[in-house]
Chains A and B, each alone.
Chain A
């Protein structure tokens, strides 16, 4: 942590011990991961179930059949229980940027804050306003307005996903901005580049479609449980058909957007792609590892094999990364140490440039502070030549530029395998529903029920790929997580970590028990 942080420390009234800072960062990362993972237990269900409820209620309004209303209200009850805790964990994420990542908040708040505010104005108020109508308006507004409100909750929920994923997309692929040395922060230059970033578009389409898939699994799985228990069979079959159609369409979309997202990663975050596939040495006709056991001792630059065992599909990674099965895909070693033959500048060289940028920034700030205009102009000129690699200047070792490979690799493969399984389940449900024998397929109904949990595993794995694969960066290439955290003793963040862990776990247990009870009670309540 040389450069700016070192210079900054000399101006503090209390020095910050390096080790303590790292520990603070570790706890801050753990806390953010904890909150984000808990949040993402609840949110995908909200995103998808809101649309399914809107479908159910639309059928009720169109047919006037009270059974569809009862069915709508049953799923709505589960939606409401889940929604509340999603909101609770969501507010923490927003404010955690300030509490645990205050340097990040200052350095990129000029860009990052805008999507969060827009999310509040354009999405959260729609959700909040129409949520009350959806639950308590059955006898207070017309049938049509109630249906409209239900749709607005679905649209509002998904609009909120747009803006938070724009923000996340910008962290993965920072564009539309420039570094201002006077304010020592990144400032927005082009809002549309930020809002319409291809990474943001891919993130939104892939994330929301996977959320639809999860909600479909939830409805299909709970309905399958009813069939297994021989309860509420008519309602269960109706729910399953609607959800399976929705889920199957969503699955196709997930596969398509997933492929686009991976292509985008290959172009803009090649290190992440290399970690996703455990590719250390770049190659032409690069294979995808269909299955593999990672060698956990393997480090960038050594001669150890990357896998203990693996099954490869030749050329497929090249096809996925560059749309050309014969193309070259860089590996972790290329990106860490560089590859002159392929014209790849490695982290090792970029660190040198980055450290020059940081030193010149420090010289510039000091000269400005002391009123030395000549010195500040000279420092600024050199800084401008090297600022593209600013973030690399904070690294101590080029190997730090590589994310944890095993975690990224396994998460990616778990997500892909499960994502391939789910459309098969939806198709089978639709097939037996068409045949009229759904309630007799005990094995399928069991598989549907357990698929709920697999759906959650796939969701979590997806975010692990996205966020662990981005390490060590808070902002790709510009700001490592170690520089982004708050200057605070680790014990504070550690304490709040355990407070959140206890509270969220207690609330999760309460939620699961309440939902199980509601399922037991069923739609007749």
Chain B
């Protein structure tokens, strides 16, 4: 059945699947956002522990989604994997370092004899939630601003700068996207605390943190949105595959793909409603509006970059080396196999949701942190 689909349909389908995984990762970065709130929203050790323990029960899901995002890109778009990771070397390495230190921080922070001290592990978490996300945003930003690389006839990448991707973080658009993602994660983190923690003072401050971080996010969001509607983009001739610069390409994409425009506006609206509901209306369910909104915004960003005859990983050094979802993808056979595998994703989502519901049925409070299972707490 899937084998009868055209290669180009499978390539578009797999861009959608990887976009969904990437967007779910953006939602789950509420964990990273929460990690940065321990220095701004928690005022006591007790509150800090509540934040870390509530995020600590979900950190692995975020981490796993990132790993799956990488695996899906490798399987479906290996040329992107080879070009971006091998070329923008330092950006990805630094992102990875922030995730290594995050992975151990939850488990090690409170354990006696942890060598580096609890404070160091808290700083690691904060670095992951700030530097890690800014760099991820900068990397995604290059989908629109381009990178300095070229490919030879064997698709072997050569990076044109000795900074190997770090230059991306200095581009104002990329940096704005990174900072927006960081503040968005902080908004989501605060919403999740409100939803899942039973502690009056902390919840009160988390509610306030949602709209304060929204205010911080706004200038960066506006920079990104203005960039989308004004910047030139990397268009692909569907007949020849030739890449050329096109004025207002991403605005054209928004107008020619109204669904994407709706995803973007609906997503942003949903996040803003989530903030209003949490920050001003006293509701606890803001995280769901924020989360769904984030997924929709993520889908819009990835769609803008990859669909409508657009090069999703453009080269500004050699336009014809730019990657599209067609020239960067796996073979039809591999995408067909992977599509059958992807049929398991709804099942995975179902059991993740079921366990999430079970584990979140009761809010986290101080009594649980100091009770019978205190030794297991982060």
A246 within 8 A of B: no
- Please determine whether A486 and B86 come into contact, CB atoms closer than 8 angstroms: yes
B79 within 8 A of A: yes
Closest to A486 in B: B86
Contacts of A256 in B (CB 8 A): none
Closest to A496 in B: B93
List which B53-86 residues lie within 8 A (CB) of chain A. Answer: 57-58, 60-61, 63-64, 66-68, 70-72, 74-76, 78-79, 81-86
- Please determine whether A514 and B155 come into contact, CB atoms closer than 8 angstroms: no
In the A-B complex, the 8 residue pairs with the smallest Cβ-Cβ separation, listed nearest first, are A102-B86, A109-B78, A98-B85, A113-B75, A120-B68, A113-B74, A88-B103, A106-B82
Contacts of B66 in A (CB 8 A): 91
A189-B333 contact given A13-B317, A91-B100, A513-B115, CB 8 Å threshold: yes
What are the interface flags for B143-186 relative to A under an 8 Å C-beta threshold, 1 for contact and 0 otherwise?
00000001011111111101010000000000000000000000
Taking the nearest CB of chain B, how far is it from the CB of A369, in angstroms? Answer: 6
- Please determine whether A136 and B337 come into contact, CB atoms closer than 8 angstroms: no
Taking the nearest CB of chain B, how far is it from the CB of A281, in angstroms? Answer: 39
- Please determine whether B153 and A11 come into contact, CB atoms closer than 8 angstroms: yes
A486-B89 contact given A124-B68, A187-B334, A517-B113, CB 8 Å threshold: yes
B108 within 8 A of A: yes
List which A70-93 residues lie within 8 A (CB) of chain B. Answer: 73, 76-77, 80-81, 83-85, 87-92
Contacts of A7 in B (CB 8 A): 153-154
A131 within 8 A of B: yes
- Please determine whether A116 and B71 come into contact, CB atoms closer than 8 angstroms: yes
B15 within 8 A of A: no
- Please determine whether A77 and B75 come into contact, CB atoms closer than 8 angstroms: no
Which of A139-147, A218-226, A374-382, A413-421 makes up part of the contact surface? A139-147
- Please determine whether B155 and A510 come into contact, CB atoms closer than 8 angstroms: no
Contacts of B355 in A (CB 8 A): 129-130, 132-133, 149
> Which of A8, A87, A110, A141 is in CB contact (< 8 Å) with B154?
A8
B107 within 8 A of A: yes
What are the interface flags for A109-140 relative to B under an 8 Å C-beta threshold, 1 for contact and 0 otherwise?
11111101111111011011111110111111
A509 within 8 A of B: yes
A184 within 8 A of B: yes
Task: Tell which of B93, B108, B115, B377 has the most Cβ of chain A within 10 Å.
Answer: B93
Which of A341-349, A457-465, A469-477, A487-495 makes up part of the contact surface? A487-495
Task: Tell which of A90, A92, A103, A113 has the most Cβ of chain B within 10 Å.
Answer: A113
Task: Tell which of B81, B107, B154, B359 has the most Cβ of chain A within 10 Å.
Answer: B154
> Which of B112, B156, B164 is in CB contact (< 8 Å) with A8?
B156
B13 within 8 A of A: no
Which of B129-137, B199-207, B341-349 makes up part of the contact surface? B341-349
19 extra A-B contacts, CB within 8 A, seeds A113-B71, A125-B64: A13-B158, A88-B100, A98-B70, A99-B86, A102-B85, A110-B78, A113-B76, A113-B334, A114-B341, A117-B72, A117-B74, A125-B61, A129-B61, A139-B371, A487-B159, A499-B93, A513-B114, A513-B115, A517-B111
A456 to B251, CA, bound (A): 58
A145 to B352, CA, bound (A): 14
Task: Tell which of B67, B317, B330, B376 has the most Cβ of chain A within 10 Å.
Answer: B67
What are the interface flags for B85-123 relative to A under an 8 Å C-beta threshold, 1 for contact and 0 otherwise?
111011011001101110110111001111110000000
Contacts of A503 in B (CB 8 A): 97, 100-101
A446 within 8 A of B: no
Contact count A vs B, C-beta below 8 Å: 288
A99-B85 contact given A130-B355, A133-B355, A488-B159, CB 8 Å threshold: yes
B16 within 8 A of A: no
A127 to B164, CA, bound (A): 34
Contacts of A113 in B (CB 8 A): 71, 74-76, 78, 81, 330, 334
> Which of A97, A102, A114, A138 is in CB contact (< 8 Å) with B334?
A114
A117-B341 contact given A94-B71, A106-B78, A128-B64, CB 8 Å threshold: yes
Closest to B364 in A: A136
A95 to B107, CA, bound (A): 23
A139 to B358, CA, bound (A): 11
How many of B's residues come within 8 Å of A, CB to CB? 83
List which A218-236 residues lie within 8 A (CB) of chain B. Answer: none
A184 to B68, CA, bound (A): 26
A112 to B78, CA, bound (A): 9
- Please determine whether B64 and A124 come into contact, CB atoms closer than 8 angstroms: yes
- Please determine whether A98 and B96 come into contact, CB atoms closer than 8 angstroms: no
B373 within 8 A of A: yes
- Please determine whether B104 and A510 come into contact, CB atoms closer than 8 angstroms: yes
A398 to B158, CA, bound (A): 30
B residues contacting A by CB (< 8 A) are 57-58, 60-61, 63-64, 66-68, 70-72, 74-76, 78-79, 81-87, 89-90, 92-93, 96-97, 99-101, 103-104, 106-108, 111-116, 150, 152-160, 162, 164, 317-318, 330-331, 333-334, 337-338, 341-342, 344-345, 348, 351-352, 355, 358-359, 361-362, 368, 371-373, 375-377
- Please determine whether B333 and A187 come into contact, CB atoms closer than 8 angstroms: yes
A19 within 8 A of B: no
Contacts of B58 in A (CB 8 A): 132
Question: Can you list 23 A-B contacts with CB-CB less than 8 angstroms, sorted by A residue number?
Answer: A4-B154, A83-B107, A84-B103, A89-B100, A94-B67, A100-B86, A105-B78, A106-B155, A110-B78, A112-B74, A114-B330, A114-B338, A117-B76, A120-B72, A122-B344, A132-B355, A139-B368, A145-B358, A188-B330, A487-B157, A506-B115, A507-B100, A517-B113
A132 to B377, CA, bound (A): 11
> Which of A77, A89, A90, A109 is in CB contact (< 8 Å) with B330?
A109
A516 within 8 A of B: yes
- Please determine whether B376 and A514 come into contact, CB atoms closer than 8 angstroms: no
Task: Tell which of A109, A149, A506 has the most Cβ of chain B within 10 Å.
Answer: A109
A513 to B116, CA, bound (A): 11
- Please determine whether B85 and A128 come into contact, CB atoms closer than 8 angstroms: no
Contacts of A285 in B (CB 8 A): none
- Please determine whether A95 and B92 come into contact, CB atoms closer than 8 angstroms: yes
A510 to B105, CA, bound (A): 11
Taking the nearest CB of chain B, how far is it from the CB of A330, in angstroms? Answer: 33
- Please determine whether B359 and A132 come into contact, CB atoms closer than 8 angstroms: yes
Contacts of A109 in B (CB 8 A): 74-75, 78-79, 81-82, 330
A184 to B157, CA, bound (A): 13
Task: Tell which of A89, A106, A140, A187 has the most Cβ of chain B within 10 Å.
Answer: A106
Closest to B373 in A: A138
- Please determine whether A133 and B359 come into contact, CB atoms closer than 8 angstroms: yes
Contacts of B156 in A (CB 8 A): 8, 12, 102-103, 106, 487
- Please determine whether B155 and A185 come into contact, CB atoms closer than 8 angstroms: yes
A84 to B106, CA, bound (A): 8
Closest to A116 in B: B71
A4 to B154, CA, bound (A): 8
A95-B96 contact given A111-B334, A127-B60, A486-B89, CB 8 Å threshold: yes
